[in-house]
Structure 1
């Protein structure tokens, strides 16, 4: 079964076709995507389509066939992921128009974290709020975390306690025990957790109450948290490479803050697991920024983690970058959400 994987981002579109054994048969990337889908002429025959969808809410916790009911539920969750959900819907609609007879399956980034225990998923808020609005930690980047954890365990030949670090424009960590997510840094929306390119990550809720108490409007606060915070808000640039090139006081603070929050989160996820067997870096920053990996691990000596500087600097592909003395292996794994989506489509369609 050839599966067309559709990954619709906030401004781009990634299409890939995976064969029966997850071999990459074709791919196409549209940088500035306006909503339609045109497959290149050299694409192979498509037997099924799998869509990456960011938010599945409390009910969509496994891959599901896309029908009118599923589409409506995805649309209903738009206010929980306003940057991502409409784009996923646009991808579904475009493929429906292009390939009306090909079955489609939606795979959700939140689904991997449906296994969070109550102690990790529950917010200490009034019960009436939690019950009325479904307030809980959902977690995100689940397709990436699931693949990275499984791939690292395969490469390492074992490991039951895994911390995965998905680091890109959006960032999150997951604590994975025996292949199941037991904790994660993002929460009710993709705005929580680590400081990111333009997103704030975790904040004191009282700070937001104070700002909203007649000082700033809701739209201004929302826009600032989503688009004007994180690395951009502190250092003036959303990209770590630009911050290092700028090399001024604010830029250095932004880089240091990013690494500081990352170290904190690795330690927190390790605590949730009761120890660490594998630490895995994935995503654009995780795979390609050797300095972030080195600076992060340098502050984790109390966990017995030690990086091999040469391996870290020269690594290619999926590779272990820790020394033989390290108590836990450190790996870099290429992000392959497309493999997880293809697996989900085959699981549903048989």
Structure 2
């Protein structure tokens, strides 16, 4: 069945559903039933095997290029290419962690573990723990680690706690948010190592510790052997910077600047996922660079849905939200970053404005 005919059929189904607006606890179950019957949750083995093979082959090609180019500053172009390939491997690990690739939970978990630890150099346990908490309560204070206090203050409470020069910077943090993303790649590696070497419980620690540390060490050794010291350092800096921008740039516009949920708020699943998520419009290039996360609303509603099916289910979800009167947010690629910058430069005003807050509108407050 073609994508267009599939969309037509599922749109017709949702048009007949029309759930009652005062039965919010059933809203998601109605939508989920429609999606299950549409077949859009079925695995896409050809798609994922093709991407896995091609991306791993691209990784090998980049390293072959590093060997062949030798002592040349053209290596910096290969460093950027390596960052791009590693980001694509990270997105595949993300999909596998959400059990999008295989029916078997074990196959998904071990595929994600191999991709993350052995190829990308990130801890699978650290990532899934953090990311699962985010999915359970997006943009909710005290629950979503992605808005927890750190270098950037994402909430009015975090901003109010800053004093002196830190407060001055926090009120202008939107302007240096994206430059900070160049350090995100390094942060991801450091956080991964701290997690697996920490005192807390780490499932499969016996696998994660040696594989992760070996991958990071071999990478540094390879650069030291293949390149002169100055060029090796420049290669590492460019690769980490581009990697951080690609990953951070794929995740940041999906939620930053959307409503912040109080810690004690009780919201049904559908509104929790839709009202705090933002889709990013764009073609194949945006799909590729963002790893399919530009359809964040659909991904949050159906995290186990294979990435290529998100495009097909999007019209269905948009229409269903329209029928319920639930705000469905979608903006252009560059507009999303303008929103993020504007929000971070005025967290108190943007987080509390009821007229521009889809959460307040969606809940009728």
Question: Per the shorter chain, which TM-score range?
Answer: under 0.3
With normalisation by structure 1, the TM-score equals 0.25
Structure number with greater Rg is 2
With normalisation by structure 2, the TM-score equals 0.25
More strand, by proportion: 1
